[in-house]
Amino acid sequence: MKSETLISRNVNGINFYKSSLLTGVLGTTTLLVSGAVNISNLDPSSQKETGMSRSKPNIIVIMADDLGYGDLGGYYGGQANTPNLNRLAQEGMLFTDFHSNGPMCSPTRAALLTGRYQQRLGIESALPTDWDSRGIGSDENKNEITMAQYLSEAGYVTGIFGKWHLGKHQSGNPVFHGFDEFRGLTCGCSDYFSKIDRNGYRDWWHNDKPDFQKGYITEIITDNSINFITANKNKPFFLYVAHLAIHFPWQGPEDGNLETRGEGEDFTSNYPGSQSKLSPHPPEKVPSTVIEMIETLDKSVGRIMESLKDQELDRNTLVFFTSDNGGYLNYNGDVWPDVGSNGPLRGQKAQVYEGGHRVPAIAWWPGHIPALSVSGQTVMTFDLLPTFLELLEIKFPSPCGPNAIDGVSILPLLLEGESLAPRTLFWRMWDSGTAVRRGRWKLVIPGKDRKPELYDLEKDIGESNDLAFQYPKIISELEAELDNWEKDVKKR
């Protein structure tokens, strides 16, 4: 059943949500502005533990790439079979109103690691693919503090496996920004088998040295993550599993026999063919290939969770799964007409409509986060860092200082189902537009010199009914907040 149908259902009652999570089917219209629905009291086996110490829990962030709101099977209504992510949601908290900080890769990753609007770092779009790209390693960003640095100071072993995309230059390498170990790619995309980027360069590293690993990237990332867990099972660790999937090139795990990128060649074409950056498959094969990629991603999550249980770490590990932005519905117009799904949402990756930044998200921590929980609170990627700081009782940077955090801790939401305080949130994507969210209202300015649009997301999740003319006062208020925000983030 497609997510458009699931999410448009008008269903009520706590028993529906319990049965939905148990069966893997979720309609979310009635959850969009609600608080967390904690239904663990209906199931005695899922009650929170009270005797377990919260000191030094392991933390794992699993970030998918370009995974749309309607791509996952089960609760989000997609066609892919995702039993492991379904089980993760059954045992934890599912979010229906979680947003990436940006509608593209690098901005969200910068916000994740710093807890700050990416505009403060000058990272508002995907970083370029050349080796001079410093990103987070630039002189302007030398005083930024990353999640890995905060946790390292608190005694954690830190590792990242997969996609970095915060600077290809040596100065931007993860090991110079708080990570003890890095295996993966530094740029935005790579052939899943040859590990060659779109400019024809090999891009697979162990720390700051090239180190090729044979195999399919999603599976290699998983292997490296499990090895890290095993090696550090007796220490508190922070693991950032930064998947490339389902970013292009759209290649499934069995596609190694097809044409792959070769060293020294150019792979920047937006069209099908041997130089395409997008896929070795013809356009009509892409949707089924993307489903294969999603299902392989789901298997990766399952393997990591199984490893935690094998090492008896599952009840002392907080896991958060999400995506760096919404998915592509199509690419280059009708050339690649069908890619993924954002369910009932308007827009896609690189746009500030909901489809560009409302993404799947699940939090899991047995005995602490009540099972079968559903939250309709509006949460952003940059909320994860302050959540971890509060959990570990790490001192926050001064709210008036150069590292002031923009996100808020969602720890009370995760553990107690408490609602978040009202706030206004912002998205800006170079020439693709700007958006402001305050409660049910969303202001969208879809590009330079374009008229503002206003949507009531409580009634119109698909942003199809522009209410700008009916509510000019709300437009003015949100535009004023946007103006103040832009002045604030411009300060470097």
Q: What local confidence, expressed as pLDDT, does residue 447 receive?
A: 87
Beta strand 317-323 with 58-64: parallel, antiparallel or unpaired? parallel
For residue 479, count other CB atoms closer than 10 A to its CB. Answer: 15
How does residue 22 score in pLDDT terms, banded at 50, 70 and 90?
A: low
Answer with the residue of higher pLDDT: 129 or 25. Answer: 129
Residue 291 in tokens: 């489903």
How does residue 23 score in pLDDT terms, banded at 50, 70 and 90?
A: low
Catalytic option among 99, 165, 177, 368: 165
Task: Provide the mean pLDDT of the chain.
Answer: 90
Per-residue model confidence as pLDDT tens digits over 52-81: 334 699 999 999 999 999 999 999 999 999
Per-residue model confidence as pLDDT tens digits over 326-348: 999 999 999 999 999 999 999 99
Which residues 6+ apart lie within 8 Å of 291 measured at CB? Answer: 79, 80
The mean pLDDT of 446-458, rounded to a whole number, is 93
123 sits in the region (left: phi over 0; alpha: psi -120 to 50; else beta) called beta
Residue 459 in tokens: 């009634």
Domains of the chain (ranges; CATH) run: 3-421 (3.40.720.10), 427-490 (3.30.1120.10)
Residue 168 in tokens: 């290809």
What distance in Å separates the CA atoms of residue 418 and residue 20, rounded to the nearest whole number? 22
Q: What local confidence, expressed as pLDDT, does residue 8 receive?
A: 33
| Active site annotation includes 187 | no
Q: What local confidence, expressed as pLDDT, does residue 267 receive?
A: 96
Answer with the residue of higher pLDDT: 432 or 147. Answer: 147
Residue 295 in tokens: 């299902």
Q: What local confidence, expressed as pLDDT, does residue 135 receive?
A: 94
The residue ranges of DSSP E strands in 205-282, in sequence order, are 205-206, 209-210, 237-242
| Active site annotation includes 105 | yes
pLDDT higher than 50, residue 42:
no
Catalytic option among 105, 247, 281, 357: 105
Please give the model's pTM, rounded to 2 decimal places: 0.92
Tell me the longest C-alpha to C-alpha distance in the chain: 60
Lowest mean pLDDT among 14-23, 150-159, 292-301, 461-470: 14-23
92 and 127 Cβ atoms separated by less than 8 Å: no
The mean pLDDT of 421-427, rounded to a whole number, is 98
Tell me the CA end-to-end span of the chain in Å, nearest whole number. 48
Per-residue model confidence as pLDDT tens digits over 170-195: 999 999 999 999 999 999 999 999 99
Per-residue model confidence as pLDDT tens digits over 347-401: 999 999 999 999 999 999 999 999 999 999 999 999 999 999 999 999 999 999 9
Partners of residue 375 on adjacent β-strands:
36, 95
